[in-house]
């Protein structure tokens, strides 16, 4: 059995070292150095370089683990463990010189996330969680918000950027939250949105069309911080990011009911 607390300390070190590289490159980055992977889906040498650094470091930390990475730097398969990595979540923000953006790293044991780190690079905030170990921000324990009413809640989301098949339903859901909450925020990084739910800055987050590397670490953060995360049907297992809704316990049921009403297929 591996020591998850110690594993998280090493993940933090890897994230901070890689974050230093990202910040250094941000000072001289030119948006013309960007490649397109698809509609509004961009990548740069910074994403690729960041991922390469993380894969090399994490390979030494846990040699038997496989990888599921956004940029495909490693396709190694692991029988028991797998690293799920987004080397630069919020790439579009980075390309435009806009904060925030983050590194997201999760460790899966079979189909369960057992360790996760989200490093908000520009703010130097490192969110950490391991199974049954609680959730932490820069070494201090964190919890989801104690807000009990949706009317007093701040909602985070991500606007559809390539998959517009459910845009009409999404806009109806967005309109409902605009009218019945403290407001809506769109930061441009799902990993950070989830981390902010975990530490109580947001009460709610929902989105569709994401990927495992966007959400894996954040899901563990919220659960270890006392929150709840499911898909739009209320399923808690095998969340891939295709559908995700997260909130503190007090408002979750109401939020899920609303999101399901508008967004459920």
CATH of the domain at 162: 3.40.190.80
Based on the domain organization, do 32 and 138 belong to the same domain?
yes
Strand-strand pairing, 135-137 and 125-130: antiparallel
Alpha-carbon separation of residue 126 from 72, 103, 137, 179 (angstroms) = 24, 9, 6, 33
pLDDT tens for 17-72 read 999 999 998 888 766 666 655 443 446 788 889 999 999 999 999 999 999 998 88
pLDDT of 253 strictly over 90 = yes
Residue where a domain stops, chosen among 115, 142, 169 = 142
Domain residues for the domain of 170 are: 150-263
pLDDT of 154 strictly over 80 = yes
Angle, CA 35 vertex, CA 31 and CA 36 arms, to 5°: 115
Q: How many domains does the chain divide into?
A: 2
pTM over 0.85: yes
State the pLDDT at residue 164: 84
Mean pLDDT of the chain: 93
Based on the domain organization, do 166 and 195 belong to the same domain?
yes
Residue where a domain stops, chosen among 123, 142, 161 = 142
What would the mean pLDDT of 217-242 be, rounded to a whole number? 97
pLDDT higher for 44 or 258? Answer: 258
State the pLDDT at residue 259: 97
């Amino acid at each position: 059995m591996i020591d998850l607390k110690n594993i998280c300390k090493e993940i933090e070190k890897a994230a901070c070292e890689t974050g230093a590289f990202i910040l250094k490159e941000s000072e001289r980055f030119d948006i013309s150095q960007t490649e397109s992977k698809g509609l509004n889906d961009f990548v740069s040498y910074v994403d690729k370089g960041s991922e390469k650094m993380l894969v090399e470091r994490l390979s030494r930390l846990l040699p038997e683990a496989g990888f599921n990475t956004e940029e495909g730097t490693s396709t190694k398969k692991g029988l028991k463990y797998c690293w799920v990595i987004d080397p630069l979540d919020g790439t579009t923000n980075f390309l435009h010189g806009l904060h925030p953006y983050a590194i997201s790293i999760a460790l899966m044991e079979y189909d369960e996330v057992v360790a996760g780190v989200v490093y908000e690079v520009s703010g130097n905030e490192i969110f950490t969680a391991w199974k049954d170990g609680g959730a932490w921000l820069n070494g201090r324990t964190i919890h989801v918000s104690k807000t009990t009413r949706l009317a007093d809640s701040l909602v985070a989301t991500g606007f559809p950027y390539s998959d517009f098949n459910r845009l009409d339903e999404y806009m109806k859901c967005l309109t409902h939250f605009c009218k019945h909450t403290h407001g809506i925020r769109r930061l441009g990084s799902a990993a950070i949105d989830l981390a902010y739910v975990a530490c109580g800055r947001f009460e709610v987050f929902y989105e569709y069309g994401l990927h495992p590397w966007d959400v894996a670490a954040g899901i563990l953060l919220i659960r270890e911080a006392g929150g709840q995360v499911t898909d739009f049907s209320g399923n808690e297992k095998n969340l891939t990011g295709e559908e995700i809704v997260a909130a503190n316990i007090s408002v979750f049921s109401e939020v899920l009911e609303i999101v399901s009403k508008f967004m459920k297929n």
